[in-house]
Amino acid sequence: MLVTDRPEVAKMARSLRNQGRDEEDKFLVHHRLGFNYRISDINCALGLSQLERLPEMLEHRTQVVRWYGDGLADLSGQMHAPLSQPGVSVSWFVYVIRLDDRYSSRDRDALQRFLTERGIGCNVYFPCIHLQPFYRDAFGFKEGDFPVTERIAAHTLALPFSSRMSAKEVAKVCETLKDGFFHLPS
């Protein structure tokens, strides 16, 4: 969904989602490269019904973040939790921790394996966008171009996150992660 108060942006978005056609164009006339991003009526109806549940879903996601914060508090010297600020509303969609700088990307990968082997789904998250094949090929980016971004990306891990997680499930992730840190080579 795109929300804008700029008519020219809205017009361009409508064109791009409709295979590059402008609203005034004849059928099968394309003024620009576009895509078939036209959404069906049924998907619109589902989206509207989900919007009605949005406050409830956001509150539960915020609760999951609180459970993680409580469960991981004693790992504060080993990892950094996502930041949240009083009075700031965050629409949580992922919970990413960052290992302290004393750990390596190999340590992060070992933690990921440890969690996965114990049935905890997690993933390396956020990879550096400038090192994705498209950006390397199109712009010539290479390792070392953004060293801070690369250092941070080498230390991040996304933990399981859903508005349907229970306190018990979050506690299991936290305990398994603590155990994983204990098993890292010193």
67 assigned to some structural domain: yes
Q: Are residues 32 and 57 in the same domain?
A: no
6 assigned to some structural domain: yes
pLDDT at 111 over 80: yes
128 assigned to some structural domain: yes
The secondary structure element, H or E, covering residue 156 is strand 156-159
What average pLDDT score do residues 15-30 get? 86
pLDDT at 186 over 70: no
Q: Are residues 30 and 79 in the same domain?
A: no
Find the range with the poorest average confidence among 20-34, 71-85, 123-137, 170-184.
20-34
Q: Are residues 76 and 31 in the same domain?
A: no
Q: Are residues 106 and 22 in the same domain?
A: no
pLDDT band of residue 126 (cuts 50, 70, 90) is confident
Q: Are residues 90 and 147 in the same domain?
A: yes
Q: Are residues 27 and 95 in the same domain?
A: no
What average pLDDT score do residues 129-154 get? 96
46 assigned to some structural domain: no
48 assigned to some structural domain: no
Q: Per-residue b/e over 156-176, b at no fewer than 16 CB within 10 Å?
A: bbbbbbebebeeeebebbbeb
User: What rounded mean pLDDT belongs to the chain?
Assistant: 93
DSSP letter, residue 184: S
Total H helices, total E strands in the chain: 6, 4
What average pLDDT score do residues 178-184 get? 94
Q: What's the confidence (pLDDT) of residue 1?
A: 78
45 assigned to some structural domain: no
1 assigned to some structural domain: yes
Q: Are residues 21 and 104 in the same domain?
A: no
Share of the chain above pLDDT 70, in %: 99
Containing domain of residue 118, as a range? 53-182
pLDDT band of residue 26 (cuts 50, 70, 90) is confident
pTM: 0.79
Cα–chain center distance at 124: 11
Q: Are residues 80 and 124 in the same domain?
A: yes
Q: Are residues 68 and 109 in the same domain?
A: yes
Provide the domain count of the chain: 2
pLDDT band of residue 28 (cuts 50, 70, 90) is confident
158 assigned to some structural domain: yes
Residue 72: which of 31, 111, 126 has the closest Cα? 111
Q: Are residues 164 and 114 in the same domain?
A: yes
Q: Are residues 82 and 146 in the same domain?
A: yes
Strand partners, 159: 95
